[in-house]
């Protein structure tokens, strides 16, 4: 579906077909325009001559290296297969060299992974951001018997990735698809700010009654606009803890990846004064942050809810003050602020009041820009 979507968005279909042929993996590919629930999409079809061939990682890598592929596409495809082999090795408790690729190493999946790598290279894609993944539900029949969805290798590969299950009781994310997603995506969440240049739809095999069985890609160029991030807010009301412990907890939360931490006085039930501890984190850090709050505070429960974060694009510049160099953070709208840690360090070294160091840094920046 991903290869079909990338071809639908403009990747040269003939170049992809020739690249797969050069693998000599026993697969012949073609593209067909179809509709799924009324949406036009491109179906990437793979005709497999060898259906029972099991391969190890090393022969697959050699096959890719000798094929007529651009070097970036070769590197991408090999990275995906290594990621897949690592997951299979852990699931089956065998050395990575002993992994039999079964379904994922057959010719059709080699065509899927290499086709994706070639299409991304043709489109000159530099960064990939993925939405949360729909893994499906129910069971799937494999050479190891009937397994629950997501399959063991898929579940392992998607550790730390936001997933959900919606729609028919089918496997909607395979180990191959999971390996491609986690290898290529720099993050999972909302659409990044960009200027859209093309969209493409790749068709799946099934026709679902309640939604279109398509995968969509949106291509674009960075705009320098505000950053958009899906985040989680984890918070708890606390009324029986030493303030020193709360201060320490905020430091630990930042060390564990929290994007922001705040303490707010609140009036709790029965008139008790308390503190609202609130941490903002990326979805993949949610559980670690929640567990740290349990470990470091006296709370017996936390609230977790999704939110969206907007962050202005920013750059850094450095200015000279009478007491040393200070970095200045500058937003896309022109706002600026001296880096606190730099000012704090200079104040401690020089014995000059922190407020004067900050004033000197601001003055130096204004002299530099006016």
What pLDDT digit, counting tens, does each position of 122-140 carry? 999 999 999 999 999 998 8
- The pair of structure tokens assigned to 310 is 């907007």
The CATH number of the structural domain formed by 314-369 is 3.10.20.300
Task: Determine the Cα–Cα distance for residues 192 and 186; give it in Å rounded to an integer.
Answer: 11
Task: Determine the Cα–Cα distance for residues 116 and 19; give it in Å rounded to an integer.
Answer: 11
Bridge partners for 30 per DSSP = 45
Instruction: Name the segment(s) of the chain with CATH classification 3.10.20.300.
Output: 314-369
Instruction: Region of 160 please: left (phi>0), alpha (psi -120 to 50) or beta.
Output: left
Instruction: Name the segment(s) of the chain with CATH classification 3.30.70.1380.
Output: 228-311
CA distances from 163 to 99, 138, 154, 341 (A): 26, 15, 11, 37
- pLDDT per position as a tens digit, 8-52: 999 999 999 999 999 988 889 999 999 999 999 999 999 887 555
- Examine residue 300 and say whether the peptide bond preceding it is cis (omega within 30 degrees of 0): no
Q: Does domain 228-311 have CATH number 3.30.70.1380?
A: yes
Which of 227, 248, 205, 252 shows the shortest CA–CA distance to 313?
227
- pLDDT per position as a tens digit, 178-233: 999 999 999 888 788 888 999 999 999 999 988 899 999 999 998 765 566 778 99
């Amino acid at each position: 579906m991903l290869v079909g979507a990338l071809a639908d968005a403009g990747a040269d279909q003939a170049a992809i077909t020739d690249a797969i042929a050069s693998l000599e993996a026993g697969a012949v590919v073609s593209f067909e325009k179809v509709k799924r629930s009324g949406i036009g999409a491109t179906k990437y079809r793979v005709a497999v001559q060898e259906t029972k061939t099991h391969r190890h990682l090393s022969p697959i890598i050699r096959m890719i290296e000798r094929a007529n592929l651009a070097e970036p596409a070769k590197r991408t495809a090999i990275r995906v297969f290594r990621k897949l082999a690592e997951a299979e090795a852990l699931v089956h408790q065998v050395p990575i060299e002993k992994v039999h690729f079964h379904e994922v190493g057959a010719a059709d999946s080699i065509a899927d992974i290499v086709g994706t790598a070639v299409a991304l290279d043709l489109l000159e894609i530099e960064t990939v951001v993925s939405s949360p993944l729909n893994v499906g539900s129910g069971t799937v029949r494999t050479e190891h018997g009937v397994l629950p969805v997501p399959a063991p290798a898929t579940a392992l590969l998607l550790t730390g990735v936001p997933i959900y299950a919606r729609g028919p009781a089918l496997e909607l994310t395979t180990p191959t698809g999971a390996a491609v997603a986690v290898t290529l995506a720099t993050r999972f969440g909302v659409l990044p700010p960009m200027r859209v240049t093309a969209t493409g739809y790749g068709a799946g095999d099934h026709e679902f009654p309640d939604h279109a069985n398509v995968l969509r890609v949106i291509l674009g160029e960075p705009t320098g606009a505000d950053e958009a991030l899906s985040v989680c807010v984890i918070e708890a009301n606390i009324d029986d803890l030493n303030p020193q412990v709360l201060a320490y907890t905020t430091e630990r939360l930042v060390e564990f990846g929290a994007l922001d931490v705040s303490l707010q006085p609140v009036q709790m039930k029965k008139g008790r004064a308390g503190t609202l501890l609130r941490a903002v984190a990326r979805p993949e850090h949610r559980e670690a942050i929640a567990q740290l709050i349990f470990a470091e505070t006296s709370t017996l429960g936390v609230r977790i809810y999704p939110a969206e974060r907007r962050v202005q694009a920013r750059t850094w510049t450095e200015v000279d003050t009478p007491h040393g160099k200070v970095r200045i953070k500058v937003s896309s709208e022109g706002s600026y602020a001296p880096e606190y840690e730099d000012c704090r360090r200079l104040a401690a070294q020089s014995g000059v009041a922190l407020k004067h160091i900050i004033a000197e840094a601001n003055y130096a920046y204004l002299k530099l820009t006016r």
